[in-house]
């Protein structure tokens, strides 16, 4: 065990039971010209975290610790897409339609893939998820149990949607969850700030928040 400086109190890192989970660093959510931008979002805010997410991933790889990646996407036949998600707000472009980088949020399409700078390497678990949370309708829970993981370090986008939803699922399942402030972003900075506050409120009711360098400092000392 080694304590990482964190809020609301130090996080007791257990190298034998920790994994990094990087949420939805997909091209369509982060690249200019992608689906996210076509909805009117300023993707520069989320694209800006890529260097820090990369440093975090490399810190885990260098320490020989597991890295998990998630992608929000659906099967090409849309069998895992609830009508409530497909039709919400009667949008011009729906999931499964042809978008700027292939069919929107469909598994295997170019826009659905993870940004090259933070892409998975051989041997890393990649979870395709139909919801915002990575536990629902995926093998993530079983995979974590099989690996003996009890602690999850969170990064990715967007903070208040897929990251927060997955962190809340993990917290209910008994995982100790730590989110790295510089390695997560939202299209709306005030939502990111509020989410971090909610996570660490009431004695860490959802988990812990920490700065990237404070985690990397501990990771680099084996």
- The answer to whether 69 touches 125, Cβ cutoff 8 Å, is yes
Cα distances (Å, whole numbers) of residue 60 to 38, 57, 217: 33, 5, 12
Say how many residues touch its own copies, by CB under 8 A: 44
Active site residue 162: yes
Instruction: Go through the chain and tell me how many residues it has.
Output: 222
191 Cβ contact list (under 8 Å, min separation 6): 158, 159, 160
Sole binder of its own copies in the list 34, 59, 99, 130 (CB under 8 A): 130
Spot the catalytic one: 28, 52, 54, 162: 162
Sole binder of its own copies in the list 132, 179, 181, 196 (CB under 8 A): 132
Residue with tokens 């997955």: 166
Comparing CB distances to its own copies, the nearer of 22 and 170 is 170
Spot the catalytic one: 24, 28, 177, 192: 24
Q: Which helix (H) or strand (E) holds 208?
A: strand 208-210
140: phi > 0 → left, psi -120 to 50 → alpha, else beta; which? alpha
Q: In the stretch 149-168, what mask flags binding to its own copies with x, by CB under 8 A? A: -x---------xx--xx--x
Cα distances (Å, whole numbers) of residue 54 to 27, 152, 157, 183: 15, 17, 14, 9
Least distance between its own copies and beta carbon 55 (Å):
27
Spot the catalytic one: 52, 54, 73, 129: 129
Residue 81 tokens, joined = 């897409």
Q: In the stretch 185-204, what mask flags binding to its own copies with x, by CB under 8 A? A: --xx-xx--xx-xx--xxxx
Q: In the stretch 75-104, what mask flags binding to its own copies with x, by CB under 8 A? A: -------xxxx--xx-x-------------
Active site (catalytic) residues: 24, 129, 162
User: Which residues of this chain interact with its own copies, rule CB under 8 A?
Assistant: 8-9, 39, 41, 82-85, 88-89, 91, 130-133, 136-137, 150, 160-161, 164-165, 168-169, 171-176, 187-188, 190-191, 194-195, 197-198, 201-206
């Amino acid at each position: 065990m080694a304590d990482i400086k964190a809020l609301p109190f130090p996080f007791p890192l257990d190298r034998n039971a920790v994994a990094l989970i990087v949420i939805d660093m997909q091209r369509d959510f982060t690249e200019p010209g992608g689906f996210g931008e076509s909805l009117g979002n300023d993707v520069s805010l989320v694209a800006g975290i890529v260097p820090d997410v990369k440093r975090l991933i490399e810190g885990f790889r260098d320490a020989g610790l597991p890295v998990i990646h998630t992608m929000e996407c659906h099967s090409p036949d849309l069998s895992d897409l609830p009508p409530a998600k497909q039709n919400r707000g009667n949008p011009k472009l729906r999931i499964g339609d042809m978008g700027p980088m292939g069919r929107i949020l469909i598994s295997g399409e170019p826009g659905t893939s993870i940004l090259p700078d933070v892409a998975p390497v051989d041997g890393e678990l990649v979870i395709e998820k139909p919801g915002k949370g990575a536990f629902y309708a995926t093998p993530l829970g079983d995979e974590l149990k099989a690996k003996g993981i009890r602690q999850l370090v969170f990064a990715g986008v967007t903070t208040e949607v897929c990251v927060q939803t997955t962190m809340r699922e993990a917290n209910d399942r008994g995982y100790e969850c730590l989110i790295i402030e510089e390695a997560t972003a939202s299209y709306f900075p005030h939502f990111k700030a509020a989410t971090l506050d909610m996570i660490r409120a009431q004695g860490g009711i959802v988990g812990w928040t920490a700065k990237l360098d404070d985690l990397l400092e501990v990771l680099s000392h084996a």
